[in-house]
Chain A
Amino acid sequence: MIDLLFSSVNFIVVGFIFFGVVFGILVSAIPGLTTTIGVVLLLPFTYYLESSSSLGMLMGVFVGGMAGGAIPAILINIPGNPASIVTNINGYPLAKSGRGDFALGLALMSSTMGALIGLIMLFLISPQLSDFALKFGAVEQFALVLLGLSLVSALSEKSVIKGYISMCLGLMIATVGLDPITAVPRYNFGTVSMQQGISFIPVMIGMFAIPTILESMVISKSFKFPTIDRNFSECIKGVISALNQIKNSKFNIIRSSVIGSIIGAIPGTGSAIAATLSYQLTKKIERKDNERMNFQGIISPEAANSAMSGGALIPMLTLGIPGDPVTAVMLGALTIHGLEPGPMMLLSFPEAYYGLLGSFAISILFLAILSFFGIPIFLKALRIKTNYIMPVIFVLCIIGSFALRNAMLDVWIMLIFGVIAFYMNRHNYPILPMILALILGKILEEQFRMSLIISLGDPFIFFKKPISLTLLLILGSFLTVIFVKFIKNNLNRKKI
């Protein structure tokens, strides 16, 4: 197994992983850009790379991106990405008191530890879950995908109804193209190019990147940040004293990382929830010691959000259900290279499966090294003005969409879905359920139709198999809880 972990690793792959980690940290350190945009921007390059290099690079961005958001959160009180939403609460005051290097060291070191624990959890849980998922037939797979999609839609930060609307729109778009069983063309407006359906890659590129560009055009000004200069030796001193503090915070790191991994494994939750939950718990535990909380308040969310990356890979690799936007893009990259994530991945592509875990481990190693030596470089990223980056992002979006099939149709799709996403953001409709529904819609319909064919048209087949019945019962009870909560909220609103 250990052989497989590093079997596809060579100097080129290691180089791409290193590039990915640095790129991830830099992208996350620039406010306004997120880890998701980082992986989306690199996605077009993966068409031309070997699977091990491209997946290693994306894994590097994922790991680096989770850690990089802490840099602006600590130094200028603006979280670089949602994962660092609570890091600034204790980090910024510490930086203001002249201990910015120490705070950054704490954040990056705890991110490294969190990612390592996330990897261990992934390593321990995913093979077992894969074995169990092998028992799944068409009926069980339908129930599982339906449960995953419902969780993502209902747990999105915005309204539940808007989440489900977004999901249904994604499922409708997924029906464009050939019928999965009879191969009859549907909703293609009589055109041949639409018969293949709408590829989710240009949709993802457009929906994640175009709204950011449009937002910067609407705001029409670049973020301005104070100049922060730290020399190399100051940074090293800060990191060494942070390392001593980390040694005294073992329990906090383990607790927060386990919370992060578990939250990450639930589709639709994401890094912001993982960081906030573990921060709240730490705050409760440390309520009597304010001074200690100043440090633990940085360690806890950073360990949790980095451990989340390991957790989020569990459902993606074992069940084929991406839990967050970054793993959704990674799923796209896997399919580009002919690898199909899901229960069969471990059996069919063990090299790719363990290679991905190996890339994760190497990314963590690079993150640890960069935590020591990279801080002065990352501080410079804060000086990059966003208005220099946005036009380049737009051009990369066009080339990335075009390069997929050498077709302008994909560029138009990217643009149209970008505009749709801009308005969805403006009106609080979450984007993730739509993208996941577009990715999983074809599987959902195919398994639904297969189940009906197996049962000769009997829809009760979904309640006759134990695994599918259990999954549907979980879905039912989950929807009941949401419905009751919704009614209660409405009643309370009327009373007010």
Chain B
Amino acid sequence: MQDGYGAGIFPKLISVVLFILLIKDFFSPTKKNISSRDNLTLIIFLTVVSIPLYFINKLGMYVVLSLFLLYLNHILKLTPLKNLVYTSLSMVIIHFLFVKIFKLSFPRIDIF
């Protein structure tokens, strides 16, 4: 079949090249240790972000985004009052800009 010329070669070629390069890189003398602080920050971030995102069809986009904003504002050392004000303001702007002007349809809250 004419279509068959080279079918499957491309991914195989890349896999082989990548494997060789990774082996070379693995044995290179300059390597950085993985920082446990980075990992901890990342694990907390991913947990906080992934769980609401997974349930977005139940919680709705507004609740999820508000949760993220509250969490990030808290991590980045904003006072609770400022945090609340900035989150509310951001949500109002997002609603007007994306839903009212750009007509984007967000997943809606569906827990009741």
A175 B24 Cβ-Cβ under 8 A: no
Contacts of B42 in A (CB 8 A): 214, 419, 422
Contacts of A162 in B (CB 8 A): 25
A419 B46 Cβ-Cβ under 8 A: yes
- Give B75-103 interface residues, CB cut-off 8 Å to A: 75-78, 86, 90, 94, 98, 101-102
Give the most central of B18, B68, B107: most A CB within 10 Å: B18
Q: Is residue A448 contacting chain B, with contact meaning CB distance below 8 A? A: yes
Interface string of A332-374 (1 = CB under 8 A from B): 0000000000000000000000000000000000000000000
Contacts of A45 in B (CB 8 A): 102
Interchain CA distance A414-B67 in the complex, whole Å: 18
Interface string of A388-430 (1 = CB under 8 A from B): 1011101100110011001010011001000100100011100
Interface string of A18-53 (1 = CB under 8 A from B): 000000000000000000000000000101100000
Contacts of B14 in A (CB 8 A): 168, 171-172, 175
Which listed residue (B28, B38, B76) contacts A426, Cβ 8 A?
Answer: B38
Q: Is residue A192 contacting chain B, with contact meaning CB distance below 8 A? A: no
Q: Is residue A220 contacting chain B, with contact meaning CB distance below 8 A? A: yes
Contacts of B3 in A (CB 8 A): 181-182, 453
Which listed residue (B7, B31, B41, B106) contacts A449, Cβ 8 A?
Answer: B7
Interchain CA distance A422-B56 in the complex, whole Å: 25
Question: Shortest distance in angstroms between B56's beta carbon and chain A's nearest beta carbon?
Answer: 6
B53 A415 Cβ-Cβ under 8 A: yes
Q: Is residue A279 contacting chain B, with contact meaning CB distance below 8 A? A: no
A452 B6 Cβ-Cβ under 8 A: yes
Nearest-CB residue, chain A, relative to B107: A408
Interchain CA distance A335-B56 in the complex, whole Å: 29
Q: Is residue A222 contacting chain B, with contact meaning CB distance below 8 A? A: yes
Give the most central of B75, B94, B101: most A CB within 10 Å: B75
Contacts of A137 in B (CB 8 A): none
Given A175-B14, A403-B104, A222-B72 contact (CB < 8 Å): no
B29 A493 Cβ-Cβ under 8 A: yes
B45 A214 Cβ-Cβ under 8 A: yes
* Interface residues of A, dominant DSSP: helix
Which listed residue (B28, B68, B86) contacts A398, Cβ 8 A?
Answer: B68
B90 A392 Cβ-Cβ under 8 A: yes
Contacts of A399 in B (CB 8 A): 65, 94, 98, 104
Q: Is residue B109 contacting chain A, with contact meaning CB distance below 8 A? A: no
Q: Is residue A179 contacting chain B, with contact meaning CB distance below 8 A? A: yes
Q: Is residue A186 contacting chain B, with contact meaning CB distance below 8 A? A: yes
Nearest-CB residue, chain A, relative to B56: A408
Contacts of B72 in A (CB 8 A): 213, 217, 390-391, 394
Interchain CA distance A120-B21 in the complex, whole Å: 41
Nearest-CB residue, chain A, relative to B72: A391
Contacts of A388 in B (CB 8 A): 78, 86
Contacts of B10 in A (CB 8 A): 175, 444-445, 448-449
Given A217-B41, A403-B98, A175-B11 contact (CB < 8 Å): yes
Question: Shortest distance in angstroms between B75's beta carbon and chain A's nearest beta carbon?
Answer: 5
Nearest-CB residue, chain B, relative to A445: B10
Contacts of A159 in B (CB 8 A): 25, 28, 30
Which listed residue (A165, A394, A422) contacts B22, Cβ 8 A?
Answer: A165
Contacts of B17 in A (CB 8 A): 164, 168
B104 A391 Cβ-Cβ under 8 A: no
Q: Is residue B2 contacting chain A, with contact meaning CB distance below 8 A? A: yes
Which listed residue (B2, B6, B31, B37) contacts A448, Cβ 8 A?
Answer: B6
B5 A165 Cβ-Cβ under 8 A: no
Question: Shortest distance in angstroms between A414's beta carbon and chain B's nearest beta carbon?
Answer: 11
Question: Shortest distance in angstroms between A470's beta carbon and chain B's nearest beta carbon?
Answer: 22
Q: Is residue A247 contacting chain B, with contact meaning CB distance below 8 A? A: no
Interchain CA distance A452-B3 in the complex, whole Å: 10
Contacts of B21 in A (CB 8 A): 161, 164-165, 168
A214 B41 Cβ-Cβ under 8 A: yes
Question: Shortest distance in angstroms between B92's beta carbon and chain A's nearest beta carbon?
Answer: 13
Given A168-B18, A222-B76, A403-B98, A427-B32 contact (CB < 8 Å): yes
A-binding residues in B (CB < 8 A)? 2-7, 9-11, 14-15, 17-18, 21-22, 24-25, 28-32, 35, 37-38, 41-42, 45-46, 49-50, 53, 56, 61, 65, 68-69, 72-73, 75-78, 86, 90, 94, 98, 101-102, 104-107
7 nearest CB pairs, A to B: A387-B76, A391-B72, A452-B6, A168-B18, A452-B5, A457-B5, A48-B102
Q: Can you report 14 residue pairs joining A to B where beta carbons are below 8 Å apart?
A: A168-B17, A172-B14, A175-B10, A175-B14, A182-B4, A391-B72, A399-B94, A411-B53, A412-B53, A419-B46, A426-B32, A426-B38, A427-B31, A453-B6
| Given contact pairs A181-B7, A220-B75, a sample of 18 additional A-B residue pairs in the complex whose CB atoms are under 8 Å apart | A159-B30, A165-B18, A165-B22, A175-B10, A214-B45, A217-B72, A222-B77, A390-B76, A391-B72, A392-B90, A395-B65, A399-B98, A399-B104, A411-B53, A415-B49, A415-B53, A419-B46, A453-B2
